[in-house]
Chain A
Amino acid sequence: MANAHSSDAASHDHHDQPATGIKRWLFATNHKDIGTMYLIFSLIMFFIGGAMAMVIRAELFQPGLQLVDPVLFNQLTTNHALVMIFGAVMPAFVGLANWMIPMQIGAPDMALPRMNNFSFWILPFAFTLLLSTFLVPGGAAAGGWTLYPPLSLQTGDSFPMLIFAIHMMGVSSIMGAINVIVTIMNMRAPGMNLLKMPLFCWSWLITAYLLIAVMPVLAGAVTMLLTDHFFKTSFFNAAGGGDPVMFEHIFWFFGHPEVYIMILPAFGIISEILPTFSRKPLFGATSMIYAIASIAFLSFIVWGHHMFVDGMPVAAQLFYMMSTMLIAVPTGVKVFNWTATMWRGSLSFEPPMLFAIAFLFLFSIGGFSGLMLAIVPVDFQYNQTYFVVAHFHYVLVPGAVFGIMAGVYYWLPKWTGHMYSMGLAKTHFWLSTISVNVLFFPQHFLGLAGMPRRIPDYAVQFSDWNMVSSIGGFAFGLSQILFAVVVVQSIRGGRKATAQVWEGAHPTGLEWTLPSPAPYHSFSTAPIVE
């Protein structure tokens, strides 16, 4: 053991500077290098998933089938979701966690660097496997990302590849989550007790526990699908005494916490950015932590609201309705606290702040439609329509994705040492914000007017809003190229960023005490927190 330690220390000396070439990335143990890889991977997946969405919106541009066969359409919707959830949003948050948690708590690196390397490097393989399912006989999975049996069991040869890819994503997420917990619990600088910890770390700590709790549940569910498919078990096969609704219960026991896994870190980012550009500390910081914790707890007892139309006893309907509505309370507390943070502040509108403000408004719209969906009787009308599509895209795109982009625009100069083009970033913001609403707002109308989701073709009365939505979709997709341009420009050069980056706003937090770009090992000597 002692031996291992000393050799470890030796290699640390050796690795003060990054290794060169491919080895730096392949054998990366540095939190910044791994964070960078996560973020780049996530951006690539964002564009791949986005390309699928572009084909979907092109097909839905007008009624009739013009571009893709219904089977390919279903494959695209299914894989768009899987790629965006597991490939774009979740890895982006892990990337941000890798970069920022050690810097925010005053640590030199993540606690488990080799596991960190492993958890990243599983992902390219998982997604190569997932995307290659488009090439095998029978095509990719086409039963929706929710994988409901018996439909998902009709998947062709790609079925075991899909299941294995999901297992790999789960393993990666769990390792990432363990790393976050161990780092936060053990490597905080002296004096930084939990209540002094930045909100981003708090949101990630809670998210990490959610991940550890639910990813094994998903793994169990898909393994049962696998044995139903290949080993003649009947977990979900009614003819063999199984229960297809059981899958939905297990899936959504994973699936509902999963949606909070995709939004809680964004809450954390917004809670960092709003105080900075309001030049005022976060309002009700402690209640923010309690709110995140309550949302996390409630996320485990609301899964039934995805399944009202599948038939449920009245008592269960009432329970899930009320528990779901209850989530509006801590979520409301968060929105009110953010608003109070801006109240009597001194607001300036740099790109991260713009995205944070858009998040505040547009995530709230997703919250309102969520509240409407919680009301069981009307859910019977909304369920499985474009109203649901509009709801969760409002929460995930101007919610989670805008949160990620706000975070990137906030910390990018700290990472690269260069300021980026504010003009280009603001253009990206306005184009994204306008087009995202043109894209998703009309989908509320479509759903209420009766258009089911997951259909490749529709009755002609839905033509107009679909065309508007598609135009918004193309505009949103194209706007994201600007994001990549801003990031690449900032990596290549630009005005030198100071340690504070946002000098005018005096951001607080340990990451701003480090020079920009931050040194390879963040804090070799732990800072003392007052």
Chain B
Amino acid sequence: MLLAAVGLAADAEANTSNGYNLPPGVTGLSHELYALHMEIFWICVAIAVVVFGVMIYALVKFRHSQGAIPDTNLVHSTKVEIVWTIVPVLILVAMAIPAAKVILMMEDTRNSELSIRVTGYQWKWEYQYMDAGEGIDFFSTLARDSNYARQLHSGIDPKSVPNYLLDVDKPLVIPSGTKVRLLLTSQDVIHAWWVPDFGAKRSAIPGFVNELWFRVDPGKEGIYQGQCAALCGRDHGFMPVVVDVRTPEAFKQWADAEKAAAKQAAAPAAGPPPTAQVVN
């Protein structure tokens, strides 16, 4: 009962990991990945139980100290060797088929409803909206209180900082129930954009545009956190990814307000080129 309550609380909060396993997540893709992960995990556990069981039996049963007599003729058996070559092949095929299906699903970026260009910088993310969000363009950096606390010898207890290292000044905002496609690239070194709850990770590589997509289940609106997943220099550990998932209506409101604000910011700056985005 208590466990269920805790589970529900976690569910309501963000569907995050329980601290020792992958999160089931909030997208169709993350559910698939979680199911595949658990399936392969249990196959490995089953194999381990059999193989380790046989080993442990041998270790207990065939001890010299218990007077075991070695059977020195047991050195070869073509039959057994064929069996333990063929059986693993069959198990592997059984694993590969569902995996291949999920690969095809992951790579199908067609018919996306919202595209966002994500650019990695040392050490922040830039989000440029296309489609319905055309014109929205901002940077997302580590939140200020985390940034103070994470300095060497800061003396600030990280546990006192809300969402330590997983909070940004301005999160990526996306609508739920919508196929969102990210176009990832980088301006300097290789980064990787990752939100575990979405089952979404891709490298952002200079000179390349990588694609990934996800659709957050309706009803799962909320804040989702992740981190840069490719070593990108000094502050690699300090460029979180935070996504604010809203209902399509709330998203539209937000997008309209952002576009209006962007227009206003651009208007007076008739003389010099608009540098507001770069300064951040």
A residues at B contact (CB < 8 Å): 63-66, 68-71, 74, 142-144, 148, 150-151, 154, 238-239, 242-245, 278-287, 309-311, 314, 317-318, 321-322, 325-326, 328-329, 332-333, 335-336, 339-340, 342-348, 357, 360-361, 364-365, 368, 371-372, 375-378, 380-381, 383-385, 445, 448-450, 452-461, 463-465, 504
**Beta-carbon contact of A346 and B69 below 8 Å:** yes
| Interface residue stretch chosen among B174-182, B205-213, B247-255, B269-277 | B205-213
> Cα distance A279–B150 when bound, in Å?
58
**Beta-carbon contact of A460 and B158 below 8 Å:** yes
> Cα distance A151–B228 when bound, in Å?
14
- Mark each residue of chain B from 229 to 240: 1 if its CB lies under 8 Å from any CB of chain A, else 0: 111111111100
**Beta-carbon contact of B40 and A348 below 8 Å:** no
Contact residues of B between 52 and 90, Cβ < 8 Å to A: 52, 54-55, 58-59, 62-65, 68-72, 74-77, 80-81, 84-85, 88-89
Q: Which of the residues A378, A449, A459 comes within 8 Å of B165, measured between beta carbons?
A: A459
CB distance from A211 to the nearest CB of B (A): 27
> Cα distance A377–B47 when bound, in Å?
21
> Cα distance A143–B21 when bound, in Å?
28
> Cα distance A329–B47 when bound, in Å?
13
> Cα distance A409–B41 when bound, in Å?
35
**Beta-carbon contact of B71 and A378 below 8 Å:** no
Contact residues of B between 117 and 141, Cβ < 8 Å to A: none
**Beta-carbon contact of B69 and A455 below 8 Å:** no
Contact residues of B between 145 and 204, Cβ < 8 Å to A: 149-154, 156-159, 163-166, 188-190, 192, 194, 196, 199-203
**Beta-carbon contact of B106 and A380 below 8 Å:** yes
Chain B CB count within 10 A is highest, among A321, A376, A452, for A452
Q: Which of the residues A278, A329, A463 comes within 8 Å of B89, measured between beta carbons?
A: A329
Determine the residue in chain B with the shortest Cβ distance to A449: B17
Q: Which of the residues B59, B157, B200, B210 comes within 8 Å of A310, measured between beta carbons?
A: B210
Which residues from A are CB-within-8-Å of B151?
Answer: 65
**Beta-carbon contact of A309 and B203 below 8 Å:** yes
Chain A CB count within 10 A is highest, among B81, B157, B203, B238, for B203
Total CB contacts across the A-B interface at under 8 A: 283
> Cα distance A114–B79 when bound, in Å?
48
Q: Which of the residues B54, B68, B84, B208 comes within 8 Å of A311, measured between beta carbons?
A: B208
Contacts A64-B157, A339-B58, A377-B99: A74 and B229 contacting too (C-beta < 8 A)? no
Which residues from A are CB-within-8-Å of B190?
Answer: 148, 150-151, 244, 310
CB distance from B120 to the nearest CB of A (A): 11
Q: Which of the residues B41, B71, B233 comes within 8 Å of A345, measured between beta carbons?
A: B71
Determine the residue in chain B with the shortest Cβ distance to A375: B99
> Cα distance A456–B158 when bound, in Å?
13
> Cα distance A143–B207 when bound, in Å?
19
Which residues from A are CB-within-8-Å of B99?
Answer: 321, 375-378
Contacts A154-B189, A325-B92, A339-B58: A456 and B237 contacting too (C-beta < 8 A)? yes
Q: Which of the residues A154, A309, A322 comes within 8 Å of B96, measured between beta carbons?
A: A322
Give the size range of B's interface with the partner: 35 or more
Contacts A243-B207, A461-B19: A326 and B92 contacting too (C-beta < 8 A)? yes
Determine the residue in chain A with the shortest Cβ distance to B167: A459
**Beta-carbon contact of B71 and A238 below 8 Å:** no
> Cα distance A511–B49 when bound, in Å?
37
Which residues from B are CB-within-8-Å of A460?
Answer: 158-159, 164
**Beta-carbon contact of A238 and B206 below 8 Å:** yes
Which residues from A are CB-within-8-Å of B231?
Answer: 74, 143-144, 148, 151, 453-454
> Cα distance A455–B52 when bound, in Å?
34
**Beta-carbon contact of B80 and A340 below 8 Å:** yes
> Cα distance A342–B24 when bound, in Å?
41
Determine the residue in chain A with the shortest Cβ distance to B18: A449
Q: Which of the residues B23, B65, B72, B76 comes within 8 Å of A348, measured between beta carbons?
A: B65
**Beta-carbon contact of B206 and A340 below 8 Å:** no
B residues at A contact (CB < 8 Å): 16-23, 32-33, 36-37, 40-41, 44, 47-48, 51-52, 54-55, 58-59, 62-65, 68-72, 74-77, 80-81, 84-85, 88-89, 92, 95-96, 99-100, 102-104, 106-107, 149-154, 156-159, 163-166, 188-190, 192, 194, 196, 199-203, 205-208, 210-211, 225-238
**Beta-carbon contact of A372 and B237 below 8 Å:** no
Which residues from B are CB-within-8-Å of A345?
Answer: 58, 62, 68, 70-71
Please give 7 more A-B residue pairs, beta carbons under 8 A apart, in addition to A339-B54, A345-B62: A151-B231, A280-B74, A348-B65, A383-B229, A449-B18, A450-B16, A450-B23
Which residues from A are CB-within-8-Å of B69?
Answer: 346
Q: Which of the residues B23, B63, B201 comes within 8 Å of A347, measured between beta carbons?
A: B63
Contacts A357-B59, A448-B21: A285 and B75 contacting too (C-beta < 8 A)? yes
**Beta-carbon contact of B189 and A346 below 8 Å:** no
> Cα distance A357–B62 when bound, in Å?
14
Determine the residue in chain B with the shortest Cβ distance to A455: B237
8 inter-chain pairs at a CB distance below 8 angstroms, sorted by A residue, are A280-B74, A326-B92, A328-B92, A344-B74, A372-B41, A377-B36, A378-B22, A458-B237
**Beta-carbon contact of B164 and A317 below 8 Å:** no
Which residues from B are CB-within-8-Å of A376?
Answer: 99, 102-103
**Beta-carbon contact of B37 and A332 below 8 Å:** no
> Cα distance A65–B199 when bound, in Å?
29
Q: Which of the residues B92, B199, B206 comes within 8 Å of A380, measured between beta carbons?
A: B199
Q: Which of the residues B19, B194, B237 comes within 8 Å of A449, measured between beta carbons?
A: B19
Which residues from B are CB-within-8-Å of A68?
Answer: 152
> Cα distance A361–B53 when bound, in Å?
11
Contacts A329-B89, A361-B55, A449-B20: A368 and B44 contacting too (C-beta < 8 A)? yes
Which residues from A are CB-within-8-Å of B203?
Answer: 309-311
Determine the residue in chain A with the shortest Cβ distance to B57: A343
Determine the residue in chain A with the shortest Cβ distance to B228: A452
**Beta-carbon contact of A150 and B189 below 8 Å:** yes
Contacts A376-B99, A381-B33, A465-B20: A343 and B206 contacting too (C-beta < 8 A)? no
**Beta-carbon contact of B107 and A314 below 8 Å:** yes
**Beta-carbon contact of B59 and A342 below 8 Å:** yes
> Cα distance A361–B55 when bound, in Å?
9
> Cα distance A336–B18 when bound, in Å?
35
> Cα distance A333–B206 when bound, in Å?
43
> Cα distance A325–B202 when bound, in Å?
22
> Cα distance A9–B268 when bound, in Å?
92
> Cα distance A364–B45 when bound, in Å?
11
**Beta-carbon contact of B75 and A384 below 8 Å:** no
Determine the residue in chain B with the shortest Cβ distance to A71: B234
Contacts A333-B85, A456-B237: A378 and B205 contacting too (C-beta < 8 A)? no
Which residues from A are CB-within-8-Å of B70?
Answer: 278-280, 344-346
Determine the residue in chain B with the shortest Cβ distance to A282: B75
Q: Which of the residues A348, A372, A452 comes within 8 Å of B229, measured between beta carbons?
A: A452
**Beta-carbon contact of B68 and A381 below 8 Å:** no
Determine the residue in chain A with the shortest Cβ distance to B240: A459
> Cα distance A378–B18 when bound, in Å?
18
**Beta-carbon contact of A360 and B55 below 8 Å:** yes
**Beta-carbon contact of B22 and A65 below 8 Å:** no
Which residues from A are CB-within-8-Å of B156?
Answer: 64
Contacts A280-B74, A372-B37, A377-B103: A70 and B59 contacting too (C-beta < 8 A)? no
Which residues from A are CB-within-8-Å of B225?
Answer: 459
Q: Which of the residues A66, A245, A283 comes within 8 Å of B153, measured between beta carbons?
A: A66
CB distance from B237 to the nearest CB of A (A): 3
> Cα distance A347–B237 when bound, in Å?
49
